[in-house]
C-alpha cells in the first residue's frame, strides 16, 4: 500500500523534489503535466481570442476600418488553428492527465517521460506558428482548413513553418494518445472492468483511438503540400495532373473525426457533473458508452458532408447525407440520458452545473443546425456562409469550451485544496452565456441571408447582425479575462475546500466511477459482514 501512497514521488525525486523551473521542465508527475497543459491551453485560448476580436472589430461595421484583407485572412486562419489545436485539444489532454490516473486508480500515467515530451513539443510548435505572422509575406492566409492549391501554389513563404508546426502538433497528439490508451488498458485498479470505468475515462479511451487513426492522415496531407511547394510534385495542382478536390477528401477524412475528438471528452465531463449535482446515478451508463463508440465509428464515414458543393455524384451525396443524419441518433441518446439524469433529481445549481446545463442546451442547438447542414440540396445555400460559422461555434464554444470550464470549476477543489468564489463563478457563467449567444446566434440569420465567411467587408444589409455579433464577442472575451481573475484569486486566497466540496453530494467523490455505487442519500445502505469480507 505504501508504494501506491508514495507513487507521486518518482525516482527522479530521490534526492528531494526538484524546485522552481527544473520541477516543471523535467516533471514526470501526471498532475504537474496536466497543470502545464491547462495553463498552456488557457494562454493559447487568450491569444486565439485576441485574433477573434480583431476579426470582430473589423466586422463591426461595413467598410475596411482596422486591417487589410490580407491581414484579416491571416487572423481567421490563425484564430482557427490556435483555438482547435492550441486551446481545446491541449485542455482536454490536460484534464486527461489530471483525472484518468485518479479515476482508474493508477499511480501515474503509463509512460511518464513520453508524457513530459508530448507537452513540451507544443510551446515550440505554437511559438513557430505564431511567429509566421511576423515573417516576410505574412503568416498563413488560407483559412484553418488550408485548402490546396491556395495553400501551396499561392501561399506565403511562411507556409513551410506552418507545415512543420502541424507535424509537431500531430506528434504530440499521437504520443499523448498512446499514453492514455496504455494507462487505461493496463493500469486500472483490480476489479475495475471496462464497463465499470468512469464516463470521462471511456470518452478519452475512444478519443485517443480516433487521434491515432486520423493524425497520420493530417501528416500525410501536409507532407504532400510540402512536396508540392518545394519538390516539384503536383499532388494538388491540376496543371500538373493533380487534383485539388483530393486535398479536401484527405483533409476532411482527418477533419471530421477531429471535430468529434474535440467533443467526446466533453461528453465525459458532463456525464460526471450532472449526476453529482442531480444527486443521482447517471441514467443509462451502458447506452452512453455504446453511443460514444457509435459516434466515433460514424465520424469516419461522413467526411464528405463538408464537400457537397464540389460536384459529387448523386449516390455519394445521398450516402453522406444519410450517414451524417445517423449521427444524430447516438447524440440524441446522450442528450436524453443527461436530461433523464436531471429528471426528479435533487438539483442544485453551482457554477459547474450551470455550465453543464448550458452545454446540453446550446450543444443541442448546434446539433440541430448540423442536421440542417446535412441536407444536401439546402447545403448549397448554407455552404461557406456565416450559418456554418454559427453552427460549428455553437458546437465548439458552448460545447467543448463550456465543458472544459465546467471541469475546471468542478475539479478545482480536488486539484488545489481551495474553493473558488461561487458568486464570482456565477457572474463568469452569466457573462459567458450571454456573450456567446449574442455573438453567435445572429450569425445564423446573416448566414441564411447569404453573408459569406472569411471576408473583411460586406454589404449594408448585414450591418445590424454583425454589430450585435461583435458586441457579444467583446462581452465573451472580457468575461474570460474575468475567469482568469477568478482562478488566480481562488488559488491564492480561496477558502480551504471541504472534504466533500459539493455539500449535499454526500458520498459522491470527484473520482467516482460511473455508475456510482448504490446509495440513498438519507440512509446508509445495509451491508452484511460477509459482503465486506467477500
Q: Looking at the annotation, which residues are catalytic? A: 79, 108, 144, 172-173, 256, 258, 260, 271, 305-306, 331, 334, 453
Give yes or no for a contact between 321 and 374, defined as CB atoms under 8 angstroms apart. yes
Using alpha carbons, list the distances in angstroms from residue 134 to 53, 69, 251, 257: 19, 16, 27, 32
Cα-to-chain-centroid distance, residue 156: 29
Q: Which residues contact 390 (CB under 8 A, 6 or more apart)?
A: 369, 440, 441, 443, 444, 447
Q: Nine-digit cell at 294?
A: 457509435
How far apart CA 272 and CA 200 sit, in angstroms, is 7
For 260, the grid coordinates are: 468529434
Give the C-alpha separation, 487 to 409, whole Å.
9
SS3 label, residue 520: coil
Contact (Cβ atoms closer than 8 angstroms) between residue 410 and residue 276: yes
DSSP-based helix, strand, coil % in the chain, nearest 5: 70, 0, 30
H/E stretch holding 87 = none
**Spatial contact of 390 and 441, defined as CB atoms under 8 Å apart:** yes
DSSP assignment, residue 61? S
Phi and psi torsions of 122, nearest 5°: -65, -50
The grid coordinates listed for 156 are: 506565403
Question: Over 40-90, what HEC string results?
Answer: HHHHHHHHHHHHHHHHHHHCCCCCCCCCCHHHHHHHHHHHHHHHHHHHHHH
Do 513 and 103 form a contact (C-beta atoms < 8 A)? yes
Q: Pairing state of beta strands 418-419 and 495-496?
A: antiparallel
Instruction: State the residue for C-alpha cell 448540423.
Output: 370
Pairwise CA distance, residues 295 & 301, whole Å: 10
d(CA 291, CA 321): 20
What span, in angstroms and rounded, lies between the C-alpha atoms of 494 and 35? Answer: 18
Nearest to 475 by CA among 441, 433, 444: 433
What's the distance, CA 33 to chain centroid? Answer: 18
Amino acid at each position: 500500500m505504501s508504494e501506491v501512497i508514495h507513487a507521486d514521488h518518482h525516482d527522479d525525486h530521490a534526492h528531494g523534489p526538484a524546485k522552481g523551473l527544473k520541477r516543471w521542465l523535467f516533471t514526470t508527475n501526471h498532475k504537474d503535466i496536466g497543470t502545464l497543459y491547462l495553463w498552456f491551453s488557457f494562454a493559447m485560448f487568450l491569444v486565439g481570442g485576441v485574433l477573434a476580436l480583431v476579426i470582430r472589430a473589423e466586422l463591426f461595421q461595413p467598410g475596411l476600418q482596422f486591417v487589410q484583407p490580407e491581414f484579416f485572412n491571416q487572423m481567421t486562419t490563425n484564430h482557427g488553428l490556435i483555438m482547435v489545436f492550441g486551446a481545446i485539444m491541449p485542455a482536454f489532454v490536460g484534464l486527461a492527465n489530471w483525472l484518468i490516473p485518479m479515476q482508474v486508480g493508477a499511480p501515474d500515467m503509463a509512460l511518464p517521460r513520453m508524457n513530459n515530451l508530448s507537452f513540451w513539443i507544443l510551446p515550440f510548435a505554437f511559438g513557430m506558428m505564431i511567429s509566421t505572422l511576423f515573417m516576410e509575406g505574412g503568416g498563413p492566409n488560407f483559412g484553418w482548413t488550408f485548402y490546396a492549391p491556395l495553400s501551396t501554389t499561392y501561399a506565403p513563404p511562411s507556409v513551410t513553418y506552418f507545415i512543420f508546426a502541424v507535424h509537431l502538433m500531430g506528434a504530440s497528439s499521437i504520443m499523448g494518445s498512446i499514453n492514455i490508451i496504455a494507462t487505461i488498458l493496463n493500469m486500472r485498479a483490480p476489479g475495475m472492468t471496462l464497463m465499470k470505468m468512469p464516463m470521462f475515462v471511456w470518452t478519452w479511451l475512444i478519443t485517443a483511438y480516433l487521434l491515432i487513426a486520423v493524425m497520420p492522415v493530417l501528416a500525410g496531407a501536409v507532407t504532400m503540400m510540402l512536396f508540392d511547394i518545394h519538390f516539384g510534385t503536383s499532388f494538388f495542382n491540376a496543371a500538373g495532373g493533380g487534383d485539388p478536390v483530393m486535398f479536401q477528401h484527405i483533409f476532411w477524412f482527418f477533419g471530421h473525426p477531429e471535430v468529434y475528438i474535440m467533443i467526446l471528452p466533453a461528453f465525459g465531463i458532463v456525464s460526471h457533473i450532472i449526476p453529482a449535482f442531480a444527486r443521482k446515478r447517471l441514467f443509462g451508463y451502458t447506452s452512453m458508452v455504446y453511443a460514444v463508440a457509435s459516434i466515433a465509428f460514424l465520424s469516419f464515414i461522413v467526411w464528405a458532408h463538408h464537400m457537397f458543393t464540389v460536384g459529387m455524384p448523386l449516390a455519394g451525396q445521398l450516402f453522406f447525407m444519410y450517414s451524417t443524419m445517423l449521427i444524430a441518433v447516438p447524440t440524441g441518446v446522450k442528450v436524453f440520458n443527461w436530461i433523464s439524469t436531471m429528471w426528479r433529481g435533487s438539483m442544485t445549481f453551482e457554477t459547474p452545473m450551470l455550465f453543464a446545463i448550458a452545454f446540453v442546451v446550446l450543444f443541442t442547438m448546434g446539433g440541430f443546425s448540423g442536421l440542417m447542414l446535412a441536407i444536401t440540396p439546402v447545403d448549397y445555400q448554407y455552404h461557406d456562409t456565416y450559418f456554418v460559422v454559427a453552427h460549428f461555434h455553437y458546437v465548439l464554444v458552448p460545447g467543448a469550451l463550456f465543458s472544459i470550464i465546467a471541469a475546471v470549476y468542478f475539479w478545482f477543489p480536488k486539484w488545489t485544496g481551495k474553493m473558488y468564489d461561487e458568486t464570482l463563478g456565477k457572474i463568469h457563467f452569466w457573462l459567458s452565456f450571454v456573450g456567446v449567444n449574442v455573438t453567435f446566434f445572429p450569425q445564423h440569420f446573416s448566414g441564411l441571408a447569404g453573408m459569406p465567411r472569411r471576408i473583411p467587408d460586406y454589404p449594408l444589409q448585414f450591418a445590424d447582425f454583425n454589430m450585435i455579433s461583435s458586441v457579444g464577442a467583446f462581452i465573451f472575451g472580457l468575461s474570460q479575462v474575468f475567469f482568469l481573475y477568478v482562478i488566480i484569486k481562488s488559488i491564492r486566497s480561496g477558502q480551504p475546500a471541504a472534504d466533500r466540496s459539493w455539500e449535499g453530494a454526500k458520498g459522491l467523490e470527484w473520482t467516482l466511477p460511473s455508475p456510482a455505487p448504490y446509495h440513498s442519500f438519507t440512509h446508509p445502505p445495509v451491508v452484511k459482514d460477509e459482503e465486506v469480507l467477500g
